[in-house]
Structure 1
C-alpha cells in the first residue's frame, strides 16, 4: 500500500514485467506504484521491484482502489484483448482523480501496413484470426468511444513504430501521423461531467449496443 497520501499513485493495468510503470518511477522516484497482473512470473518480478500487485478479472471486477484516488492509470496493449471495454473504461474513470490522467495504448488497425494488407485481401496484422486479439481499433473509432459519454476527453493522440522505417525515423513519423502508426496512444482526462461512463447505455447510442449483453456491474 502507499505510504503517504501526498505521494502520486500510479496504476498499471496489465503491467506485464513492469516496463511502463518502472519507467514512471525513474521520472517520479517517490510515486506509489500499483499494478493489476495475473501472470505469476510477472507478479513475482513486480513485487521484487516494490510494486503493489492485485490479481483480478478486469472485465468483471471492481478495481481495488477508492474512487478518485489514482493520479495516473496506464493500460498498454490490453484493450485489444477484451470484450468488456465499457466496464474497464468506467472503472478507470471511477478511480481517476479529478485532475488525473490515463494513457491507453493499442495496436492500430488503421496503420499503413494494416491498410495495405487489407487492400491486398489479407488479414490485418492487428487482429489475426489465430491471434489473441478480439478487437481492432482505429484512432477515430477509439476516440469516439472514449468520448461517447462525455465523461472523458482525449487530450492527445500519439503513435509508435512505423513500418518499414528504423527506430529513430519511425518514432518521428509515427508522432507526425499517428493514424498510420503501428500502435496508437491516447492521453485521457476526466471532464467535469457528473455522469458515469456507463450512463451512455441510457443514451440513444446505447440502442446500438442492446444486441450484446455488455457487463455493467453486479446488481
Structure 2
C-alpha cells in the first residue's frame, strides 16, 4: 500500500529534525555547508562541500536514517558546480541548473536527444544523472543504463525513480512497457558478464514508487558482495 500524503508529511518533519540534530552534534558533518530538505521521504542536498568524500559522508549518514527513500544531491564540491544530466526531463527538471535532455523541445530542455540511443556526452563527463520516470517507458533499458555508466565520473551517481510494479499507476499508464521492482536494481548491479557494473548507495520503495542511487564501478572493482547487496535486496 502506498504511503499516505499525511504520513509522508509527518515523516518529512521527523527526518528534518533528525538531520538538524545530526548536523549539530556529529563532527563529521557539523561544519559542512550542505542544506538538506525532505520531500516525500527524499532528501534533497544542496550547498557546498569541500571534497567529494565529505559529500559521500553526508549522503551515507542521511541514507541510514529510517524512512529515507532516496538521497538526491546537487552540491558544489571544491568550488566546482556539478555537471548534472536530467534525462527525459520533459517540462520539469529536478533542479534548476541541470542539463535537461529530451527528444522533444521544451523550455527545460538544453540538449535534444533520444535517450534510448547513444547519449551525446563524453566519457566520464557527468557528476550526476537523473532517470526519473524513464526506464518504465523503454522496452530494453539496459543500453541506457550502460550509457549512463559511460558518461558518469568514477564518483558519480545515477538517481533512478520508477513506478513500483504492484502499484496501479504502473499498469494504468499505457505508455509503460516495463514493470520494475527494487530487486530490478540488484539485477542491474550484478549482471553476469556485463562490462559495466554498479554498486548500490541506496534503494527503497514507498508502496507506489521505487528509488535507487547507483555508483558506477569504473576502475576494475569487484562486483558488489552479498553483504553489500543484502542491505537493500533479497
TM-score of Structure 1 vs Structure 2, range by shorter chain: 0.5 to 0.7
Gapped regions of structure 1 (runs ≥ 5): 26-32, 48-52, 115-123, 160-173, 175-180, 196-219
Q: How many matched pairs?
A: 140
Mapping of residues 79-94 of structure 1, within 5 Å: 79-94=135-150
Q: TM-score normalised to the size of structure 2?
A: 0.54
- Structure 2 SS opposite 1:101: strand
How big is the shift at 1:101? 0.5
Mapping of residues 109-120 of structure 1, within 5 Å: 109-110=165-166, 114=167
Residues 137 and 178 in structure 2, CA contact (< 8 A), matched pair in contact too: yes
Q: Distance in 2 between matches of 1:99 and 1:141?
A: 22
- Counterpart of 2:102 in structure 1 is 37
Higher helix share: 1
What are the superposed Cα offsets for residues 84-132 of structure 1, whole Å, 9 maximum, x if unpaired? 311101100000000010101100014xxx3xxxxxxxxx54123x711
Asked whether 1:9 is paired with 2:52, we answer no
- Structure 2 SS opposite 1:145: helix
How big is the shift at 1:35? 1.7
Asked whether 1:157 is paired with 2:210, we answer no
Quick one: which of 155, 164, 169 aligns to 1:108?
164
- Counterpart of 1:200 in structure 2 is none
How big is the shift at 1:158? 2.8
Residues 103 and 187 in structure 1, CA contact (< 8 A), matched pair in contact too: yes
- Counterpart of 1:127 in structure 2 is 171
Residues 151 and 193 in structure 1, CA contact (< 8 A), matched pair in contact too: no
- Counterpart of 2:63 in structure 1 is none
- Structure 2 SS opposite 1:133: coil
- Counterpart of 1:167 in structure 2 is none
Asked whether 1:59 is paired with 2:116, we answer yes
Residues 109 and 126 in structure 1, CA contact (< 8 A), matched pair in contact too: yes
Kindly indicate whether structure 1 or structure 2 has the higher relative contact order, using CA contacts under 8 Å at least 6 residues apart: 1
Asked whether 1:140 is paired with 2:183, we answer yes
What are the superposed Cα offsets for residues 44-68 of structure 1, whole Å, 9 maximum, x if unpaired? x226xxxxx11122222x2111100
- Structure 2 SS opposite 1:20: coil
> Aligned in 2, Cα 1:8/1:141: closer, same or farther, shift over 3 Å?
closer
Higher strand share: 2
Q: Distance in 1 between matches of 2:99 and 2:137?
A: 21
Gapped regions of structure 2 (runs ≥ 5): 1-78, 222-234
Q: Distance in 2 between matches of 1:192 and 1:135?
A: 28
